[in-house]
Structure 1
């Protein structure tokens, strides 16, 4: 009886604290003329710049060039906030990227706030009911472990399926990478597998304090899930549990509130991503999904899973635009009526992670694709059945659990290993490499996407680094039998004879090749040859060639990935960011079987069409160029532009950042 009374009390407290009085208040502008406040001398510009750590500035410059502050980064107008407060409105989060605040508005003041001249629109902040996958709930203490496995203990299987221990053995462990986790809370100071990890900062976006472990106002078990997830990617206890990227540094954000099912509010998630990005995060991973909401709050529909509707999806896309590599669980809806991925897994650039069992068979609960606009989802899969991790509320106990929330930190850990070894990689390169190197990259589908993620394959996939207009090709060879002196690159313009190129430098398993110069837009292909100690000649790849477009940084075995399993491909936009005064032209390639209708619509961030390009394609490779001018002949303003491409009735979407 006492337990029932306590539970009822918790429900009353929850209902009181989280009743739907919270709204997004979107503003018409940021308090001044757009061009004036984007000036580097403006107070708003310098406020945005000063909010970034040195690491954030470094990451933005790597991915964006020198123009690192965008209109979305400028702070919300303090004048507008002051006026709202004068009406007794309680501000919860200031969300600069969306030019809005979340706030508690009494019902009787809604119409008054809507009528203010600087208020564009008011929308309710929605709350998620997140259906968890069946949980094994196996509790094991340290003394009960089988120590004969190896130093990974029972975490070996989940990592070995993605070939992570092999990469660890090469001294690649995630160091110098900053990972951000968004979850229910983190009991990290107590547990032996987590209390030695490097925590840069933590914040509770539910109760607005710096403690992410359970506090008195939290329901029991609040921090169980986040603690488990953290240990899967970052834990370390020799012979017991080792995380996928255990030597990375971490930002911990408590964004979810559990009060039966997992309970999340959209503004917490968006505020946490802005906080992490400002602190310089390299990779984020979240284990939540938005689809079904509390009664009366307006559920999202499958049609909303289009990459551009929900706040959380928009937030991960804005983080990606600023150079952050973003991972999220695909969702645990595979056995439900919904079945599909849940936001933010529907994002264009986020890597949505599904689940497989230890035998690499798709878990029945793992959400599937496509997005409502037809894109392949999830991107990759990792082990999400009987995944082993730390148990919150204890010092040395562990449990195993199911769910895409346990596969996402494994995949994000692979991303951290890749970035740790090759810190020059842009997030667009990292994403491309992971998709290209996964097990199903040549025939992606809407069950497992591009396939099982592999740390070994990702680290061995070649990548490019631009240095003052020249390109260096990097390639790892983990073959212990390789004879270093025999390794050669064979490079050619597409359809011409190959030229042999010796490596310039090497260290351990990593080799660098300086590429000769070509005209931007030239299509190149290459492969590697070496001898091993048994006298064998090894060709990499064994039966086809890597391909690239000179001037772009992505490399592919399928020319920037086969899209929708069709017989043509649309490439990434290059160069991106695009500086018209420097680059003159921006290009996009597509392959066609010939006589197909091609249409390109270039849309600005406000949704206005600035340029339309139409033409009939010819068989083979086609190149479309844009000089940055709108249809009326004026140079377009700095900002994000969307390339909406129609080719033979199929739609493709790309993003371009234009800088002046």
Structure 2
């Protein structure tokens, strides 16, 4: 009887049409406990799946208990039983405790009856939101001069204060960035061929080639090449991206051969793969709200807890990854709102503005369905300069939030490169606090234009053995280093100005006295310039943090936030 069942399942898969489905399991074959047994086979296997860099990043953000129940591998017995039924598994998604597989209607009914199967749900096929058309009059061949400079890319870098940060030799070093897009012709183009790419994978054909290959559409790698160059391109006096000295992992997740471009399981699998390599930051210029007929999401689903792509990004954030995505290009359409995964709680969604800081009409607006402000920030996204795939020296201007997202993620790389002790929660807070509209955020530009200079100069905390060290960077060379003081208050005790210690070319530190967790600390920073003009930061109000927390607040509420990384099944 068993052999007959297997045969019927196999025959069904040959004769009847199949669609891709998620098969969710009831458990992982091990008790869900807050204190996982570190000697168990499942725990050891979960650790072995991570690179040393991934473990280091997780420990920095999560502490020594860096493996969660969601990280444990899917029960191999469940896999074995499905395969014995003729189910061909495509993706194994440990964070979701699920696999994806092509199933017929008959197979679905059989799989649903298995005692270890929680549910069977369709894998939605997503339609890529194309950027506005390229201006054909703005396709250029580079004509580099002999002087060092940004060339045509200067405007897009200036808007986010990148050049001044580069001038201090901060360029993304020691930061690993993962990019999810349509493909990458990085080995050919002059602006990308010298970048440090440590891994790449094609989730369409399941190989390690992310450039165009046999079977691809001619423009398959065009979008991803353009995005990668905005983030990290480097040709003197032609194009310079913010994070040209970072390292990169590339995931080809888009299939542009038809209107249906990506399936949710591939996006989730790419994020799981990148996280295991140890990425610090991920960025995707992808966004979706329209799916195959019968499977579309609605605005009520833009709640941070519904779509698989959004939940995948939140799972990555839980593990210490800073996640970025384009807000979407729906501003002029009937939808108008941000699109998944931009609705995530912790993902930083990026809208687009022009060179005059005006919001682009196409840039998607907020809020999320549950009322959260979106997008978080905006960056240069109108006539943004980038590389043309299939050439070694071609460039183009194009517009879209796809062009803004790599600038924002590049700024994050500069922030982490300058302050490598930062956790992803701190980075997110600093980026929002230091943006141009943080005192009055709205659902058009969010917290404002992202600024590399302001983010790096925003004070931040480092926790060393329970003691909090304040870091403050000054890029102004006219600062009199002997006059930099901190004035802080804990409870009702007002202290005199205390000198900060110069710890680098531009950095000053101060170690706070140990206090009880939860005590509110308020402080200002005072200094003079070389002409003896006196200054106080912030210009109004005070910086604040609760002792025991490493989040410094100025305009955002200084409260203990809920764990927005929690995502429902």
Q: 1:38, 1:44 within 8 Å by CA — same for their partners in 2?
A: no
SS in 2 for 1:258: coil
Matched, 1:527 2:515: no
Alpha-carbon shift at residue 531 of structure 1 (Å): 1.5
SS in 1 for 2:503: strand
The corresponding residue for 2:224 is 226
The 5 A counterparts of 1:226-375 are 226-261=224-259, 263-296=261-294, 298-375=295-372
Alpha-carbon shift at residue 259 of structure 1 (Å): 2.8
TM-score, normalisation: structure 2: 0.93
**Distance of 1:20 and 1:401 partners within structure 2:** 38
SS in 2 for 1:216: coil
The corresponding residue for 1:390 is 387
Alpha-carbon shift at residue 116 of structure 1 (Å): 1.4
Of residues 338-347 and 129-138 in structure 1, the stretch that sits farther from structure 2 once superposed is 129-138
Alpha-carbon shift at residue 144 of structure 1 (Å): 4.5
Alpha-carbon shift at residue 429 of structure 1 (Å): 0.3
* Off by >2 Å, runs of 4+ in structure 1: 31-38, 135-145, 147-150, 259-262, 493-499, 653-657
Structure 1 unaligned segments of length 5 or more: list them. 1-18, 562-568, 574-642, 644-652
Out of 112, 125, 128, the position equivalent to 1:127 is 125
- Higher strand proportion, which one? 1
**Distance of 1:546 and 1:234 partners within structure 2:** 33
**Distance of 2:564 and 2:141 partners within structure 1:** 49
The corresponding residue for 1:571 is 559
CA RMSD of aligned residues (A): 1.9
The corresponding residue for 1:515 is 512
Alpha-carbon shift at residue 41 of structure 1 (Å): 1.5
SS in 1 for 2:379: strand
SS in 2 for 1:62: helix
SS in 2 for 1:63: helix
The corresponding residue for 1:589 is none
**Distance of 1:445 and 1:207 partners within structure 2:** 41
**Distance of 2:447 and 2:296 partners within structure 1:** 30
Out of 472, 477, 484, the position equivalent to 2:474 is 477
Alpha-carbon shift at residue 111 of structure 1 (Å): 1.0
Alpha-carbon shift at residue 32 of structure 1 (Å): 3.5
The corresponding residue for 1:456 is 453
Alpha-carbon shift at residue 539 of structure 1 (Å): 1.6
The corresponding residue for 1:436 is 433
Q: Deviations over 1:349-369 (max 9, x none)?
A: 000100001110000000000
Alpha-carbon shift at residue 260 of structure 1 (Å): 4.5
Out of 110, 113, 120, the position equivalent to 1:112 is 110
**Distance of 2:129 and 2:465 partners within structure 1:** 50
Higher relative contact order (CA 8 A, sep 6+): 2
**Distance of 2:68 and 2:305 partners within structure 1:** 19
Alpha-carbon shift at residue 238 of structure 1 (Å): 1.2
Q: 1:505, 1:513 within 8 Å by CA — same for their partners in 2?
A: no
Q: Deviations over 1:613-633 (max 9, x none)?
A: xxxxxxxxxxxxxxxxxxxxx
The corresponding residue for 1:91 is 89
Alpha-carbon shift at residue 106 of structure 1 (Å): 2.6
Provide the aligned length of Structure 1 versus Structure 2: 551
**Distance of 1:260 and 1:160 partners within structure 2:** 37
Q: Deviations over 1:319-374 (max 9, x none)?
A: 10100000111111101110000011101100010000111000000000000000
TM-score, normalisation: structure 1: 0.81
CA gap of 1:143–1:223, structure 2 versus 1, over 3 A, is closer
Out of 170, 173, 177, the position equivalent to 2:171 is 173
Q: 2:150, 2:238 within 8 Å by CA — same for their partners in 1?
A: yes
**Distance of 1:406 and 1:572 partners within structure 2:** 34
Q: Deviations over 1:433-466 (max 9, x none)?
A: 0000001001100000000000110010000001
**Distance of 2:531 and 2:355 partners within structure 1:** 33
The 5 A counterparts of 1:407-426 are 407-426=404-423
Matched, 1:406 2:406: no
CA gap of 1:61–1:37, structure 2 versus 1, over 3 A, is closer
**Distance of 2:368 and 2:147 partners within structure 1:** 41
SS in 1 for 2:100: strand
Q: 1:142, 1:240 within 8 Å by CA — same for their partners in 2?
A: no
Alpha-carbon shift at residue 425 of structure 1 (Å): 0.3
Alpha-carbon shift at residue 294 of structure 1 (Å): 2.1
Alpha-carbon shift at residue 542 of structure 1 (Å): 2.0
The 5 A counterparts of 1:483-522 are 483-493=480-490, 496-522=493-519
Alpha-carbon shift at residue 177 of structure 1 (Å): 0.3
Out of 98, 101, 117, the position equivalent to 2:99 is 101
Q: Deviations over 1:168-226 (max 9, x none)?
A: 10110000000000111111111111110000100011111111111111112011001
**Distance of 1:20 and 1:286 partners within structure 2:** 29
CA gap of 1:495–1:162, structure 2 versus 1, over 3 A, is farther
Q: 1:37, 1:43 within 8 Å by CA — same for their partners in 2?
A: no
Out of 173, 189, 193, the position equivalent to 1:191 is 189
Out of 535, 539, 542, the position equivalent to 2:539 is 542
**Distance of 2:354 and 2:362 partners within structure 1:** 11
Alpha-carbon shift at residue 37 of structure 1 (Å): 10
SS in 2 for 1:448: coil
CA gap of 1:365–1:460, structure 2 versus 1, over 3 A, is same
Q: 1:37, 1:45 within 8 Å by CA — same for their partners in 2?
A: no
Q: 1:378, 1:449 within 8 Å by CA — same for their partners in 2?
A: yes
**Distance of 2:36 and 2:547 partners within structure 1:** 33
Alpha-carbon shift at residue 535 of structure 1 (Å): 2.1
